[in-house]
Amino acid sequence: MRIKKHPILEFPVKKKIEFYFEDKKLEARDGESIAAALIANNIRIFRFSEKKQRPRGLYCAVGKCASCLMEVDGKPNIMTCITPVKQGMKVKRQKGRGDLI
């Protein structure tokens, strides 16, 4: 769901890159956050809570809550809203707290 035409803004065409979500290859644009890339691909469920396994997604988009934490390249608790997406990155839904080691 990318905006193609906007009355005020111009979105310069950015380089397309590829990343993986749950082992599925998806397209992103260079320079956007992981969270933005996921939402552009219509993915809103980012993780499941620890006790009740309830779904969580993006909330503040500026690194001030902890709703969008995901597992990125094997590391848990990555704030996907303020981390840029990179070519070949492997992003996974986080379950619970994520294992630290």
**The two three-digit tokens of residue 61, written as one number:** 């988009």
Tell me the closest approach of the beta carbon of residue 39 to other proteins, in angstroms.
6
The answer to the question of residue 5 lying near other proteins (CB under 8 A) is yes
Q: Hey, which residues between 20 and 79 contact other proteins (CB under 8 A)?
A: 29, 32-33, 36, 39-40, 44-46, 49, 54-65, 67
Task: Report the residue from 20, 76, 84, 98 that binds other proteins according to the rule CB under 8 A.
Answer: 84
Pairing of strands 90-92, 16-21: parallel
Using CB atoms within 10 Å of the CB of residue 16, give its burial: 0 to 12 exposed, 13 to 18 middle, 19+ buried: exposed
The alpha carbon of residue 6 and the mean position of all alpha carbons in its chain are separated, in whole angstroms, by 24
**The two three-digit tokens of residue 31, written as one number:** 């320079």
Q: Which positions touch other proteins (CB under 8 A)?
A: 1-3, 5-9, 11, 29, 32-33, 36, 39-40, 44-46, 49, 54-65, 67, 81-84
